[in-house]
Chain A
């Protein structure tokens, strides 16, 4: 079993839709939860990070963490074609800053 599981997609949605992206994990030592966006042939860029259960909102993005279920989500409201990218969850234990990434979900937002 992988430490972090993420559906690779692809996920295709119409413009304006609410997108839900999810990861599950097995290691309870993970304390930091990040979402990165990666465009094709580019490095990942950090979208959201949180370290506690609950919701964190930033503009159209909401990160949700449920430590008891070992489940994290990223919601994108009013999705735009420019949101088309691969979204990677990344988890860290804090020590040494090492991150464990999910496989990434490829998202396509269509006009």
Chain B
């Protein structure tokens, strides 16, 4: 299957700083990518849909000014957590659907980025 990578896999930062997380589709192009957040022992919660060449679409309750998303190319989307606080500590996962003839497009997930804000 297709491969999605994330960088970094683990980051610790001080409260008030900003952190950038990259999501790359390695062997396919993705006009859309999804960003999820997962707290311990909880499910994945969709934060936003990243669209290549246009603004991201945020889910209800997600602050767009705090979680900046940029989808500058067909293989790269970035999520920047601005002015991070301890409550932003979580596991952030991206996914990308691989386009195909079927109406359902299989989504491939990255390995996740664990963010710890001190």
Contacts and interface: CB of A to CB of B under 8 A. Distances in A.
Interface string A48-79: 01010000000000000000000000000000
B107 A46 contact: yes
A45 B114 contact: no
A99 interface: yes
Contacts, number: 57
Contacts of B42: 103-104
A14 interface: no
A99 B46 contact: yes
B103 A101 contact: no
Interface in B35-94: 41-46, 49, 91, 93
Interface in A70-103: 88, 92, 94, 96-103
Interface residues of B, number: 27
Question: Which 6 residue pairs across A and B have the least CB separation, nearest first?
Answer: A43-B109, A103-B43, A101-B43, A97-B97, A43-B111, A101-B44
B56 to A, nearest CB: 13
Contact of B106 (A44, A46, A103): A46
B104 A32 contact: yes
Contacts of B34: 97-99
B43 A42 contact: no
Interface of B: 1, 4, 6, 32, 34, 41-46, 49, 91, 93, 95, 97, 103-112, 114
Given A88-B44, A94-B104, A103-B42, A44 B93 contact: yes
A102 B104 contact: no
Given A43-B110, A103-B42, A92 B93 contact: no
Nearest to B32: A97
A49 B108 CA distance: 13
14 contacts: A32-B104, A41-B112, A43-B6, A43-B111, A46-B1, A46-B108, A51-B104, A88-B43, A94-B103, A94-B104, A97-B107, A98-B49, A99-B46, A101-B43
A99 B1 CA distance: 19
